[in-house]
């Protein structure tokens, strides 16, 4: 049995893992989990969060960082840790996953809301319920109302990466874990096509295209 990745296509952490699998040359079955039911996730991992990767051995991994580290153990070539940059990539990837992600998530929430609305009112309602229970009643409506301000904050957060990527093809010169973390966050921002990486960030645009061409990313379902 091939490795199996359980995902939501809108998740930046699933995009990160997909690209890691492609980079490592690991052919995996992609399972798009029903956002409302999540029965595949429960059966595979006993919980309802993505990403989940089940390996050929039957080992099941939850969390994009754990998946990345295990893939590096099992498939060390090509590596995600250039020589002398192990700690640097861990620090950068952690910063992207935990500090940059919340800022970009707020900016991209209106597009994610539209994504789940197209799947049906029950999916949209469940998406809103999860966010509102985590961040307070009316959170989704506030994010829609504050869309422009949140977008400006996201671009400000991305500016240091833009400055680096204008001068370098990857964040530390050679491709590594942090690049996959950043790719995942950018993929989530471009989910619907309504908001793309702006033209005045050519470094990020070129970087995203460079990462995307490792192999074609799956198209979001209609």
The pairing of strands 29-32 and 4-7 is parallel
Beta bridge partners of 61: 53
pLDDT tier for residue 196 given thresholds of 50, 70 and 90: confident
Q: State how far the Cα of 35 lies from the Cα of 119, in Å rounded to an integer.
A: 9
* Residue 221 forms part of a structural domain: no
* Residue 217 forms part of a structural domain: no
Instruction: Answer yes or no: do 67 and 12 share one domain.
Output: yes
Instruction: Answer yes or no: do 93 and 67 share one domain.
Output: no
Q: Tell me the pLDDT tens digit for each residue of 24-36.
A: 999 999 999 999 9
* Residue 130 forms part of a structural domain: yes
- The domain tally of the chain equals 2
Q: Can you read off the two tokens belonging to residue 200?
A: 């005045």
Q: Given this model, what pLDDT does residue 191 score?
A: 73
Q: The domain containing residue 108 runs over which residues?
A: 86-212
Instruction: Answer yes or no: do 27 and 120 share one domain.
Output: no
Average pLDDT over residues 39-68: 96
* Residue 220 forms part of a structural domain: no
pLDDT tier for residue 133 given thresholds of 50, 70 and 90: very high
- The CATH number of the domain where 26 resides is what? 3.40.30.10
The pairing of strands 52-54 and 29-32 is unpaired
Q: Among 41, 74, 107, where does a domain finish?
A: 74
Question: How does the average pLDDT of the chain come out, rounded?
Answer: 93
Instruction: Answer yes or no: do 139 and 186 share one domain.
Output: yes
* Residue 145 forms part of a structural domain: yes
Instruction: Answer yes or no: do 126 and 168 share one domain.
Output: yes
Instruction: Answer yes or no: do 31 and 141 share one domain.
Output: no
Q: Given this model, what pLDDT does residue 190 score?
A: 78
* Residue 11 forms part of a structural domain: yes
The 3 state secondary structure assigned to the chain is: CCCEEEECCCCHHHHHHHHHHHHHCCCCEEEECCCCCCHHHHHHHCCCCCCEEECCCCCEEECHHHHHHHHHHHCCCCCCCCCCCHHHHHHHHHHHHHHHHHHHHHHHHHHHHHHHHHHCHHHHHHHHHHHHHHHCCCHHHHHHHCHHHHHHHHHHHHHHHHHHHHHCCCCCCCCCHHHHHHHHHHHHHCCCCCCCCCCCCHHHHHHHHHHHCCCCCCCCCC
Q: Given this model, what pLDDT does residue 203 score?
A: 97
Instruction: Answer yes or no: do 90 and 197 share one domain.
Output: yes
Instruction: Answer yes or no: do 43 and 63 share one domain.
Output: yes
Q: Given this model, what pLDDT does residue 215 score?
A: 67
Instruction: Answer yes or no: do 57 and 167 share one domain.
Output: no
- Largest pairwise CA distance in the chain: 50
Q: Tell me the pLDDT tens digit for each residue of 137-170.
A: 999 999 999 999 999 999 999 999 999 999 999 9
* Residue 80 forms part of a structural domain: no
* Residue 171 forms part of a structural domain: yes
Has residue 222 got a pLDDT over 70? no
Instruction: Answer yes or no: do 108 and 132 share one domain.
Output: yes
Instruction: Answer yes or no: do 51 and 111 share one domain.
Output: no
Average pLDDT over residues 108-130: 93
Q: Among 19, 44, 74, where does a domain finish?
A: 74
- The CATH number of the domain where 164 resides is what? 1.20.1050
* β-sheet with 52-54: strand ranges across: 29-32, 4-7, 52-54, 60-62
pTM, entire model = 0.93
Q: State how far the Cα of 184 lies from the Cα of 26, in Å rounded to an integer.
A: 18
Rounded to 5 degrees, what angle do the CA atoms 127, 131, 133 make?
Answer: 115
């Amino acid at each position: 049995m091939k490795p199996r990745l359980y995902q939501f296509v809108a998740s930046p952490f699933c995009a990160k893992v997909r690209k890691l699998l492609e980079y490592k040359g690991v052919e995996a079955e992609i399972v798009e989990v029903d956002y409302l039911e999540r029965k595949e996730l429960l059966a595979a991992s006993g919980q309802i969060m993505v990403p989940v990767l089940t390996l050929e051995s039957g080992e099941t991994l939850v969390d994009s960082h754990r998946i990345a580290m295990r893939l590096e153990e099992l498939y060390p070539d090509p590596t995600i840790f250039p020589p002398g940059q192990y700690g640097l990539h861990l620090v950068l990837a952690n910063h992207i996953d935990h500090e940059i992600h919340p800022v970009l998530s707020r900016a991209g929430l209106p597009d994610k809301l539209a994504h789940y609305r197209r799947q049906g009112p029950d999916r949209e309602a469940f998406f809103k319920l999860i966010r509102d229970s985590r961040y307070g009643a009316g959170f989704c409506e506030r994010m829609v109302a504050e869309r422009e301000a949140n977008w400006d904050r996201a671009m400000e957060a991305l500016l240091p990466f833009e400055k680096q990527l204008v001068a370098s093809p990857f964040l530390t010169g050679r491709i590594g874990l942090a690049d996959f973390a950043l790719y995942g966050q950018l993929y989530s921002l471009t989910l619907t096509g309504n908001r793309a990486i702006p033209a005045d960030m050519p470094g990020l645009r070129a970087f995203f295209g460079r990462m995307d061409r490792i192999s074609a990313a799956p198209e979001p379902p209609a």
